[in-house]
Every structure is written in structure tokens, then in C-alpha cells.
Structure 1
Amino acid sequence: MIHDILLAIPWAFLLAISIGPGFFMLLETSITKGFKAAFTLDLGIVFSDIIFILIAYFATNQILSQLKDNPILYIVGGIIMSVYGLISYIQLKKKFNEKMEDDEEEDIQKNNYLGLFFKGVFLNIINIGVLGFWMMIIITHGPKLEMNPLRIFIFFTAILVFYLLIDIYKILLAKQLKHKLTPNNIYKIKRIISIVILIFGVFFILQGFFPKEKKMFTNKLLPEVSVAK
């Protein structure tokens, strides 16, 4: 059991430092809304990870391969992500132009935790790269764990627990910047996050339209690099 837990630590670290929409959104939420809000968002991300893990575990290898390489999933996920980023960017600009700085600061303190939780779920679910990441782990590490349900449970639980602990550390570090930011800077950060999400969406759409080029690119890199959480 100890060996399975130790085996999970590098994967948890990789998952926590991978750069993607969830990574930037987590830091932005910590800075603008505080620890509880960012932690709630992170719980939503972890919840969607659990869904992906269950899909990877219960599906057959053939289905896993079809899902992982299906360009339609990349296109649909990329479109959803791009539209979300674009709408967020437009809404932020309108909101900032309409409200005074005092109103903006007041809004920052009002946190819809249920909404933040589902926001985390949504951001992770539409990121098809995360599904590919969990599929890759279950395919490569399942045999090493002898496909033993208990060992697999301990292994994936350890990944998520260590991942959450590392994210808590990231949240606390980002939170230190909160008192140094003006409403105008917060607004700029949110717009940058929207642009980042839009860029990742376009990236996934291109992966869907050019699957051969994607395979050539990923074959030159380690599989872990493509997580982009």
C-alpha cells in the first residue's frame, strides 16, 4: 500500500503544476475571492477528476482508445471552452465600465460557493486533455497494480489527496497578493484568464481538425506534458 501511495506522488505533483484554464482560474479566484472560494472551485475540479477516473476505470481499453483519439471530442470541448472565454471577456468589460470601484470591491466579497463548485466541474469537464491524462494513467498503471480494485482505489485517492494539498499551498501563496491589487488590476487579471481559456479552446479545436499533426507532436513529447489542467 505504501508503495502505491509513493507511486502516486509524482503524478499528483505533475497534475498540480500543469498549466491550463483550471490552473489560472484557481489562482485568480484565490486572489480576488479568497481561500474558501478558491478551495471550493478546486473541489469542483477534483470532483470532475473523479468522474473521469471512473470513466477510465470502467470502460474497456477499446472504448478508451476511441474516446481518447476521437477528434470530435476535442472540437466540441474546444468550442465550448472558446465560447466561455469569449463571453467572460465581453461581460467583464461591460461590467467594469458600468460599475464604480466600490461596487466592484463589494462584489468580490459575495461568493456563490455552489456556483464556484460547478464552475470548477465545468472547466475541467470540457478540458478533454484531462480525460486523456486519466485514461493514460489507468492504461499504463492498471497492469502494474494488477487491476486490483483496492490498490487502484488507494493509488488514485492518493493522487487526488496530494494534488489537493499542493493546490492548497498554491491558493495560500496567491492569496498573499490580494491586498496588493487594485480593482483595475483585478479586472485585468480576469480578462487575461478569459483570454487564456479562449486560447486553450482554440488549441483543442485545432487538435480536433488536425489529429495527424497532433499525434506527430505528442509523439515527440512525454505523454504527461499534454495534461494542461
Structure 2
Amino acid sequence: MIEDIQAAIPLGFLLSFMIGPVFFVLLETSATKGFRAGVSLDIGVIFADLVFLLIAYFSSYQLLENLSNEPGLFVFGGMILLVYGIVLFVKKPKKKTHLQATKGNYLGLFVKGFLLNFINIGVLAFWLGLIIVVGPSLDNSPDRMIVFFGTVLLVYFGTDLLKILLAKQLKRYLTQERIVLIKKGLGIVLVICGIVLIVKGFLPKDKFDIQDEIEKIEKL
């Protein structure tokens, strides 16, 4: 069990620094709305990861094969990210910016974090691949799987808390103009991520095969 925990810690740390839409949204939310807002968003993100992890565990190879045969799922997720990014980019800022979220907004931020992570079907593919790669080394034991992936998510969340704390320190330097620039930059990132997912959906299967990506991870 100790060996499983030690193996999971580096993975959880690395996952927290994977550059993607969630990474930038978390930093922007924490810096502009405060620590609690960032934590609320991040809990939603982690919850989506947990749901994906459970789906991946109980579906395993069958769902992995379905993902390879249903590129429309990538297109659907990509379109949502693309539209959200465009709206964020063109949306005009409010005259008054409230840097602290009210209590009623925390649930909304949780839902936002959950949906932002959940619509990215690539996250599900990642957890599927990780289970397939790591499962045999854990003897496919449910207890060992719970310890390993539970540690991954805990380290992931703990590292995110440090990022949220650091982002909060930036709040004093954020003027109205800088906040607008951050949001527009975030919109561009989301648009790019959405386009990447859409392109993956239209690529021939032999150009983007999930099983090949899993084998590449296994060789690292």
C-alpha cells in the first residue's frame, strides 16, 4: 500500500500542472474572486474527475472502444468549449467588478468547474488509459485501485490549493484593464482547446487512436 501511495503522488502533482482550460479558469477565478471561489470551482473539477474515474473503472475496454468509434463526442465537447471561449472573449466587462464572490455564487462555481471538466471527453479517455495501464500493476485489486487513485486525486487537489493561494496574491495587482485582458486571453485558450477537440473528432481513426496514445504513456 505504501508503494502504491508513493507511485501516485508524482502523478497527482503532474496532473495539477497539465496546461488546459481548467488550469487557466482556476487561476483567473482565484485571482479575481478569491480563495473560496477558487476552491468551489476546483471541487467541481475534482468531482468531474471522480465521476469520469468511476465510469472508466466500470466500463474499461468497452467504453474505450466506443470512444474510438464515436468521434462525434470530441466534436460535441469541442463545440461547447469553442462557444464558451468566444462568448468570454467578446463579452463586455461590467462597469463594477466585484472581486469577492457571494455565498450564493459558490454552488454556481462548483457547477461551472464540473461542467468545464466534464465536457472534455479527452479527460475520460485519459482516465481510461491510466486504468488500463496501471490496473495490472495493482493486480486489478479494488482496494489498491482506491488507494492509488484516491491518492492521485488528493495530491491533485492539494497542489491546486497551493495554486489558488498564489493566484490570490495577484489580486492586488489586477486592475479593470488587466482583468479584461485575462478574460480575453482565457477565451482564446478555450477557443484553441475547442478547435483541437473538434479536429480530433474529424481526424481518421488511424490518425488519432486512443490505444496508441495509451501505449505512448506506458513507454514513458
Task: Give the alignment's TM-score, normalised by structure 2.
Answer: 0.90
Gap change, CA 1:68 and 1:26, over 3 Å in 2: farther
Q: How is 1:117-136 mapped onto 2 (pairs within 5 angstroms)?
A: 117-136=110-129
2: CA distance, partners of 1:54 / 1:136: 13
Structure 1 gaps, min length 5: 225-229
- AA aligned to 2:83 is V
Q: In 1, are the aligned partners of 2:68 and 2:209 still within 8 Å (CA)?
A: no
2: CA distance, partners of 1:59 / 1:9: 25
2: CA distance, partners of 1:201 / 1:58: 28
Kindly report the root-mean-square deviation, in angstroms, between the aligned alpha carbons of the 2 structures.
2.0
Corresponding residue of 1:210: 203
Q: Please state if 1:7 is matched with 2:7.
A: yes
Corresponding residue of 2:18: 18
1: CA distance, partners of 2:207 / 2:39: 37
Alpha-carbon distance, 1:174 to partner: 1.4
Corresponding residue of 1:29: 29
Corresponding residue of 2:167: 174
Decide which of 101, 113, 116 is 1:110's aligned counterpart: 101
Structure 2 gaps, min length 5: none
Give deviations 1:84-126, integer Å, cap 9, x for gaps: 11122222x2xx2xx43xx22xx33234100000000011011
Q: Please state if 1:82 is matched with 2:82.
A: yes
Alpha-carbon distance, 1:71 to partner: 1.2
Alpha-carbon distance, 1:215 to partner: 4.1
Corresponding residue of 2:51: 51
- The sequence identity of aligned pairs, in percent, is 48
Q: In 2, are the aligned partners of 1:28 and 1:190 still within 8 Å (CA)?
A: yes
Alpha-carbon distance, 1:68 to partner: 4.8
Alpha-carbon distance, 1:28 to partner: 0.4
Decide which of 185, 194, 202 is 2:187's aligned counterpart: 194
2: CA distance, partners of 1:138 / 1:49: 13
1: CA distance, partners of 2:65 / 2:171: 44
1: CA distance, partners of 2:155 / 2:190: 25
Partner-residue secondary structure (3-state), 1:172 = helix
Task: Give the alignment's TM-score, normalised by structure 1.
Answer: 0.87
